[in-house]
Chains A and B, each alone.
Chain A
Amino acid sequence: DAGVTQSPTHLIKTRGQQVTLRCSPKSGHDTVSWYQQALGQGPQFIFQYYEEEERQRGNFPDRFSGHQFPNYSSELNVNALLLGDSALYLCASSLGFGNPNEKLFFGSGTQLSVL
């Protein structure tokens, strides 16, 4: 049973560029959430997708956007990269939407470095 898979594992970009990160949820899961984890901090919620729509969003600028495909996989796009966007980006999947008892399963993350 494949867990949550993310690609790429590492990425180096320069300021002003755009980046796309990808996530395949755990088999059977239909909801995907994205988190940003800066060095030495806890993960911070970016947004959550269910039924191909953004359902909840954290305190992130519009430079951060996403998409969910019919097969439940998801992409995170970040435009006009800033040095402060350097972080580990974590994807998490779950079953259904809005149930706090539904555990999140996390991928290993994509380490983004902006130079």
Chain B
Amino acid sequence: DQQVKQNSPSLSVQEGRISILNCDYTNSMFDYFLWYKKYPAEGPTFLISISSIKDKNEDGRFTVFLNKSAKHLSLHIVPSQPGDSAVYFCAASGLNAGNMLTFGGGTRLMVKP
């Protein structure tokens, strides 16, 4: 069973607009959530994270929101840039799992100039 789901396999937005990527999880033991970005022929790179004690974390153009009651998190990119075009993975880890991550299936973001 998929414990972390990204239901949108792809997303296309115009440069300068907001990109919103969504992620749902089912395991209530998850308490730390991360977003990774992956370009072709490269490994995933860490983007931003959030602990379950928070509901929002910002880093420049990137903001992650966590809704624990809905078991939902989202990544907002404002403004979107063509260089943001990549596959974005949502990941989660649990209380006793250290940094062993459970990943979603990814969302391919395309930012059009």
Binding site for B on A (CB under 8 A): 4, 31, 33, 35, 40-45, 48, 55-56, 58, 90, 92, 94, 97-109
Residues of B contacting A42 with CB < 8 Å?
Answer: 4, 6, 89, 91, 103-106
Interface residues on B, range: 20 to 34
Residues of B contacting A107 with CB < 8 Å?
Answer: 43
Q: Is B45 an interface residue (CB 8 A)?
A: yes
Interface centre among B4, B9, B102, by most chain A C-beta atoms within 10 angstroms, is: B102
Checking A45, A97, A108 against B101 with a beta-carbon cut-off of 8 angstroms, the contacting residue is: A45
**Alpha-carbon distance between A108 and B44 when the two chains are bound, in angstroms:** 8
**Stretch from B12-20, B59-67, B75-83, B92-100 that touches the partner:** B92-100
**Alpha-carbon distance between A56 and B101 when the two chains are bound, in angstroms:** 11
Checking A40, A41, A48, A108 against B100 with a beta-carbon cut-off of 8 angstroms, the contacting residue is: A48
> In chain A, what residue has the closest Cβ to B105?
A42
Q: Across the interface, do A109 and B43 meet the contact criterion of CB distance under 8 Å?
A: yes
Residues of A contacting B100 with CB < 8 Å?
Answer: 33, 45, 48, 56, 58
Residues of A contacting B6 with CB < 8 Å?
Answer: 42
Taking CB atoms and an 8 Å cut-off, the chain B residues in 37-91 that contact chain A are 41-46, 49, 51, 89, 91
Q: Across the interface, do A100 and B43 meet the contact criterion of CB distance under 8 Å?
A: no
